[in-house]
Amino acid sequence: MKDFVALINAVEITNKTNAKIQALVDYFSKASPKDKLWCIAIFTGKRPSRPVKSTLMKQWCMALINLPEWLFLESYSTVGDLGETLALLHPEPTHSIEKSLSQWMQDIIALKPKTEAEKKAYVLDAWSGLQTQERLIFNKLIGGSFRIGVSKKTLVNALEKLSGIDANQLMHSIIGNWDIDSITFEALINGTHINYDNSKPYPFCLAYALEKPLDELGAVNTWQIEYKWDGIRGQIVKRNGEIYIWSRGEELVTQQFPELVHAMQQFKNDFVIDGEILALKNNSVLLFNDLQKRLNRKNVSKKLLEEVPVGFYAYDILEYNGKDIRHKPLEERRLSLEALFKTTTALAHIKLSQCIQTDHWEALQAIRAASRAINSEGLMLKQKASPYHVGRKKGDWWKWKVDPLTIDAVMIYAQKGSGRRSSKYTDYTFAVKNGDALVTVAKAYSGLTDKEITEVSRFVTKNAIEKFGPVRTVKPELVFEIAFEGIALSNRHKSGVALRFPRIKRWRKDKTVEDIDTIASVKSLIKAQ
């Protein structure tokens, strides 16, 4: 397993994608065919179900080194990763076990039906036969996620470099149906189990943020104007009865959205359409936060399907009945798209993106300003004569986003992050004034630079009230500007308001706690939006 440990070390220390790809290429050039398959399986989430509960592993470790639980938890909150905490706490190995990645995986599969005592004996023996790094990887192989910054895209880019096979085809191959015991590495990457002609996507056409006054754009009737949606840009490919959904990051996400696949099956024609995957309930678009619950899941439960149904707003059509029509003007493609939608009825999950009709640019200002009310993030302006470009090209497509709402709030709690962020306080809770008291209005954990996070962490360490546990109450002193997408009255929140998608816009070092918003001024934004 030494090679695999070296691979993990190499990919996780660097944030350069090229270095990650090189490390993967190095591994794939050396590893045995079976290990290669397991490596791909692990990085794509095709792994055996966890044979041992993490709470058991924690208990075995604490008992082994006679550690009180509070001290285990302090260690865990410093490390931010359970598998790593267990690996670090374990004493030096007493013997040395040499097994390949695939042997370990076979062991782990075989462990599943065993008794708890047998499992314990196996795990303790493995722990004491491995070096710290290997022990960590072993814990990760048993269960838990390999959150080390290797996306499927990075993986297929490495395989492309290694084999010369097109990355999107490789994406289809590794996502496709394959079983580790009945396929060879060569067969897998050559895609003998798939038909890439059926799934092949087109590069997305991307827009720039609007950077000039509207009246410099020419006549308003030469533009197709649509709402801009904050979901997942996607391309749906339907060829020869097969359906594939590609995300903008060129990952195949078909399995995550069964309702879209079902809806697409209602069409008779073949096509490739571009649009937005959105959480869509009772004909209203939900927030990205809701959609997030649906992402990166191996299985979508029935409950979740009901709770957060997904829909697709179609923007464009790139291929119709086997013919690439990207060179045609948008105006014509739109007609084809509308024609396609006329071929079937009752499409609850698939909708045409609405075109906004106006004779004057000025009228758009108000429409854009009101877009937040329907959870849209502004407008898209597309030149009617434009082809479907490859990638980002300035001039034909513009996004014109609505400005977020903002308030000034003070930090009152801080918590350490996980993974890369485990050494710093990165998750904060903010409050505004309520008379002489403070009332919590939002939690946020992004938007600061590493340097600022370091500075805030230092403040937290110095000014914390608690000494134990993950959460620190801090002196209300640091003021931040919090941006959010919407605000509503809420009985569930103590403050009486709920902010949608709050995040830190910037650190207001020029302001003190005296200058922050009051709950009354926050509530006044409800009417204003």
Partner 1 sequence: MKLVRFTKKGIYCIPGKFYLDPWYPVDYAVISHGHADHAKWGMQHYLCHHHTKPILQHRISADIQVESLAYNEKKKINGVTLSFHPAGHIIGSAQIRLEYKGFVVVFTGDYKTTPDGLTQPYEPVTCHEFITESTFGLPIYKWQTETVLKQSIEDWIASNKMQHKTSVFLGYSLGKSQRIMKLLEGIDAIYVHTAIHNINAAITSSGLKLPKTILLEPDFDKKEIEGKLVILPPALLGSRLLKRIPNAATAICSGWMQIRGNKRWKGVDAGFPVSDHADWNGLLDAVKASKAEKVYVTHGAQAIFAKYLNEIGIPAEEIITAYGEDQLETEGKKTETA
Cβ 504 to partner 1 shortest distance, Å = 18
Q: Is 421 in the site for partner 1 (CB under 8 A)?
A: yes
Amino acid occupying residue 499? L
Q: Does 457 bind partner 1 (CB under 8 A)?
A: yes
**Binder of partner 1 out of 85, 199, 224, 247 (CB under 8 A):** 85
Q: Which of 100, 151, 423, 434 binds partner 1 (CB under 8 A)?
A: 423
For residue 150, the minimal CB distance to partner 1 (Å) is 13
Kindly state the smallest distance separating residue 80's Cβ from partner 1, in Å.
5
* The two structure tokens encoding residue 78: 């410093």
- Does 336 bind partner 1 (CB under 8 A)? Our answer is no
Q: Which of residues 17, 25, 54, 74 is near partner 1 by CB under 8 A? A: 74
As beta bridge partners, residue 276 has 233, 313
Q: Is 161 in the site for partner 1 (CB under 8 A)?
A: no
Max Cα distance, the chain (Å): 79
Applying CB under 8 A, which of residues 440, 454, 518, 529 lies at the interface with partner 1? 454
Q: Which residue has the tokens 């260690």?
A: 75
In this chain, which of 30, 33, 63, 67 binds partner 1, going by CB under 8 A? 67
Cα gap 147→252, rounded to integer Å: 19
463 binds partner 1 (CB under 8 A): no
Residue 74 CB, shortest distance to partner 1, in Å, is 5
Binder to partner 1 among 125, 403, 450, 477 (CB under 8 A)? 450
Tokens 């591994």 map to which residue? 27
Instruction: Tell me: does residue 370 bind partner 1 (CB under 8 A).
Output: no
Among 293, 298, 458, 494, the residue binding partner 1 under the rule CB under 8 A is: 458
The whole-angstrom separation of Cα 350 and Cα 339 is 14
Question: Strand locations in 182-288, DSSP E?
Answer: 205-206, 208-209, 223-229, 232-239, 242-247, 271-281, 284-285
In whole angstroms, give the CA distance from residue 3 to residue 192.
Answer: 28
Judged by CB under 8 A, the residue of 93, 144, 176, 419 near partner 1 is: 419
Residue closer to partner 1, measured from CB, 136 or 364:
136
63 contributes a contact to partner 1 by CB under 8 A: no
Crossing angle of helices 167-175 and 152-163, in 10° steps, is 120
80 scored as a contact of partner 1 (CB under 8 A): yes
**Between 79 and 381, CB nearer to partner 1:** 79
Number of residues that bind partner 1 (CB under 8 A): 33
Q: Are 400 and 500 in contact (CB under 8 A)?
A: no
Binding segment toward partner 1, per CB under 8 A, in 63-71, 97-105, 215-223, 245-253? 63-71
Does residue 69 belong to the site contacting partner 1 (CB under 8 A)?
A: no
Interaction pattern, residues 3-22, with partner 1; x per rule: CB under 8 A:
---------xxxx-------
The whole-angstrom separation of Cα 407 and Cα 260 is 38
Q: Are 472 and 460 in contact (CB under 8 A)?
A: yes
Told to judge if 382 belongs to the known catalytic residues of this protein, a careful annotator would answer no
DSSP characters over 77-143? HHH--HHHHHHHHSPPPSS-----HHHHHHHHHHHTTS-HHHHHHHHHHHHTTS-HHHHHHHHHHHS
- Identify which of 128, 133, 69, 71 has the alpha carbon closest to the alpha carbon of residue 95: 128
Count how many residues are written for the chain: 529
Q: Spot the catalytic one: 119, 152, 228, 505.
A: 228
- CA 506, 509, 514, 520: dihedral to nearest 10 degrees? -10
By CB under 8 A, which span of 85-93, 216-224, 308-316, 394-402 interacts with partner 1?
A: 85-93
- Looking only at residues 244 through 283 of this chain, which bind partner 1 when binding is defined by CB under 8 A? none
Helical ranges in 380-505 per DSSP H: 450-463
> Considering the complex, what minimum distance in angstroms separates the CB of residue 419 from partner 1?
6
Q: What angle do CA 495, 499, 500 make, to 5 degrees?
A: 160
Closest to 410 measured CA to CA, from 384, 434, 376: 434
Nearest to 106 by CA among 141, 146, 60, 54: 141
Residue 498 burial (10 A CB sphere; 0-12, 13-18, 19+): middle
Q: Which two tokens stand for residue 391?
A: 């990638």
Among 1, 21, 37, 84, binds partner 1 (CB under 8 A): 84
In the set 368, 424, 472, 505, which binds partner 1 (CB under 8 A)?
A: 424
Site string for partner 1, 465-504 (x = CB under 8 A): --xx------------------------------------
* Amino acid identity at 242: E
**Mind telling me the catalytic residues?**
228
Q: Which residues bind partner 1 (CB under 8 A)?
A: 12-15, 65, 67-68, 70-71, 74-75, 78-81, 84-85, 88-89, 92, 419-424, 450, 454, 457-458, 461, 467-468
